[in-house]
Structure 1
Amino acid sequence: MTQETMNLSNSEVMEKTVTKKREWGMILASIPVIIFVIIGIIGPLLMDFDPQKTFTGSRLLPPGTVLEDGSTAWLGTDQVGRDVLSQIIYGTRISLLVALATVLIGGSIGVILGLISGYFGGLVDSVIMRIADIQLAFPAILLAILIAGVLGPSVTNVIITLSITRWVTFARVTRSATLTTKKKDFVDSARVLGVSNFKILLKYVFPMCISSVMVIVTVQLGLVIISEASLSFLGLGVPAAQPSWGYLIALGRDYINSAWWIATMPGIALAILVVSVGFLGDKLRDKLDTSLD
């Protein structure tokens, strides 16, 4: 075996090792997110407690307390006797629903506008990008507070509000990828053959943008979850009748010294989910970069 062959073999082994490490990294990063998704989907079906049912005789009980009916308040109760664990589980569903719907709606709008802007250019590009620049001049959370204050608190209005504030990122990333892709030889060949602009965008340009968009999706999911919690904390997000992590944290801030678990437990859940989504986004970016190489 020659030295060149040995070097080639060592290179292949190292490449396979790095690939396996990244695959395991993806799997490990996915586990916490999958757990939260499962909790959001089936968790409320398994709960014995109604998250809105109050027991004034069981107020401010610490985590692990056994109640009069024999059940256990694993994460304690709040100031009106509601079970904190059941509220967090129901709040998981709200946070995931808002995040997924917002990214789907706002992302779809942003991707479509980014494709149109980058591919056609000219006046269309100038108009779309100037609108995006104007919106970027306002802090996203302040714009969300303004819109939510006008629309009022509801899950639907939160999704609409956050979709309006999030489309810009998708549009700019998609436009950048489109500008690069439309200069490729296969796109020029499609034009010469008479393929319509719509088919070129759908069949040739959009698939080349997917990797960039998927990375942005994971980043935006975490940001949307935080934004929803912020709006609910301020009383502008999900109504009080529907448990939300931000609303739970707001309720517990007045009891942080005497009943720390009311605000701390949903805060921990929020932090774990956001960090897990961000970590998954980093691993996804590494994997997509490797596949593109």
Structure 2
Amino acid sequence: MSNLNAEIISEENKVMKKFTISKSNWKFILISIPIVLFVLIAIFGPWIIDYNPTKTFTQDRLLPPGSTIRDGSQIAWLGTDQVGRDVLLQIIYGTRISIIVSLATVVIGVLIGVLLGLISGYYGGVVDSVIMRIADVQLAFPAILLAILIAGVLGPSVMNVIITLAITRWVTFARVVRGATLETKKKDFVDSARVIGAPNIRVLAKYVFPMCLSPLLVVVTVQLGLVIISEASLSFLGLGTPQENASWGLLISLGRDYISSAWWIAVMPGIALAILVICVGFLGDMLRDKYDPHMNDF
């Protein structure tokens, strides 16, 4: 009888586990939909919709959402700004800026961080001390203040924003990769590769780096949301993208003086920014729960 009860409990646990995995998959899909939508808008939106951010239409200024513009030929679904530009079109073009800046920043930061993290963790000694002390010095400064300082020196442009944010983010990736490297290089398969005479570059590329991918993937996802917020913050302060480039942070900055009379100018891009960052953050949490060995949810 006890064996039968044990089998029943085992089958129930299997069913519950399948249900949990299925539920997690649905959560992953639901969270991914807005992210994929924003990426598609960033890629195809400017190609489909003709928009000139420097052209003004003073006759259509400060119209609320749903108003007709251009003598009734168009509908401003999210209203118009203080010079008559369609807020929805600006958000669509601003999506491309946010996606490009965040992806380029993370790619550059990952390349620098992974390289330095692997070297620091694998070789150790003086090399490790020098790289980590540089990282500690940079971490002593708040990331946003350091970004403001560098952006103020370089000036406003999309490329300068990418360089600025990449400089402030490489440390996170380097420390994560270094920690994974320190743990991996003690494994037997790494020692075996050394014994048979494999060069260090081959050991790092074939045996050490793949073991760093799981924690690195989680950090990359989390950092994407932080980079999007940082880019918007710099643009809000006038240190990010120039005026001729529609950016969510710049749109919010231009609309803050009209928050009481034309709230949609600042609120609509703010909502788009919040949705993207929250979805990316939830995605990072799910990946952390899945790949963190200390978590028992999966």
- The answer to whether TM tops 0.5 is yes
Which of 19, 25, 36 is 1:34 aligned to? 36
1:7 aligned to 2:6?
no
1:288 aligns with 291
1:125 aligns with 128
Matched letter for residue 284 of structure 1: L
Would you say the 8 A contact 1:91–1:245 is kept in 2?
Answer: yes
Would you say the 8 A contact 1:88–1:245 is kept in 2?
Answer: yes
Give the distance between the partners of 1:61 and 1:125, measured in 2 at CA.
59
1:276 aligns with 279
1:45 aligns with 47
Would you say the 8 A contact 2:118–2:209 is kept in 1?
Answer: yes
Would you say the 8 A contact 1:49–1:83 is kept in 2?
Answer: no
RMSD: 1.7
Q: Name structure 2 gaps, 5 residues minimum.
A: none
2:202 aligns with 199
Would you say the 8 A contact 1:51–1:83 is kept in 2?
Answer: no
Give the distance between the partners of 1:89 and 1:52, measured in 2 at CA.
15
Give the distance between the partners of 1:239 and 1:125, measured in 2 at CA.
39
Give the distance between the partners of 2:117 and 2:157, measured in 1 at CA.
29
Matched letter for residue 63 of structure 2: L
Matched letter for residue 238 of structure 1: T
- The structural deviation recorded for 1:181 is 0.9
Which of 95, 99, 108 is 1:96 aligned to? 99
Matched letter for residue 33 of structure 2: I
Which of 44, 53, 58 is 1:56 aligned to? 58
248-257 or 277-286, larger mean C-alpha shift: 277-286
- The structural deviation recorded for 1:196 is 1.2
Matched letter for residue 288 of structure 2: R
TM-score, normalised to structure 2, is 0.94
- The structural deviation recorded for 1:150 is 0.8
For this pair of structures, how many residues does the alignment match?
Answer: 293
Give the distance between the partners of 2:260 and 2:74, measured in 1 at CA.
26
2:260 aligns with 257
Give the distance between the partners of 2:192 and 2:15, measured in 1 at CA.
39
- The structural deviation recorded for 1:9 is 2.6
Paired residues for 1:167-178 under 5 Å:
167-178=170-181
Q: Name structure 1 gaps, 5 residues minimum.
A: none
1:105 aligned to 2:140?
no
Which of 182, 186, 194 is 1:183 aligned to? 186
1:144 aligns with 147
Would you say the 8 A contact 1:22–1:287 is kept in 2?
Answer: no
- The structural deviation recorded for 1:49 is 4.1
Would you say the 8 A contact 1:29–1:283 is kept in 2?
Answer: no
Give the distance between the partners of 2:243 and 2:153, measured in 1 at CA.
18
Matched letter for residue 234 of structure 2: L
Give the distance between the partners of 1:277 and 1:216, measured in 2 at CA.
11
Matched letter for residue 112 of structure 1: L
Matched letter for residue 20 of structure 1: S
% identity of equivalent residues: 70
Give the distance between the partners of 2:51 and 2:136, measured in 1 at CA.
47
Deviations 1:132-166 (A, max 9, x none): 00000001011101111111111011000000000
1:236 aligns with 239
Would you say the 8 A contact 2:215–2:292 is kept in 1?
Answer: no
Secondary structure, in 3 states, of the residue corresponding to 2:63?
coil
Which of 69, 82, 85 is 1:82 aligned to? 85
1:221 aligns with 224
Would you say the 8 A contact 1:26–1:284 is kept in 2?
Answer: no
TM-score, normalised to structure 1, is 0.96
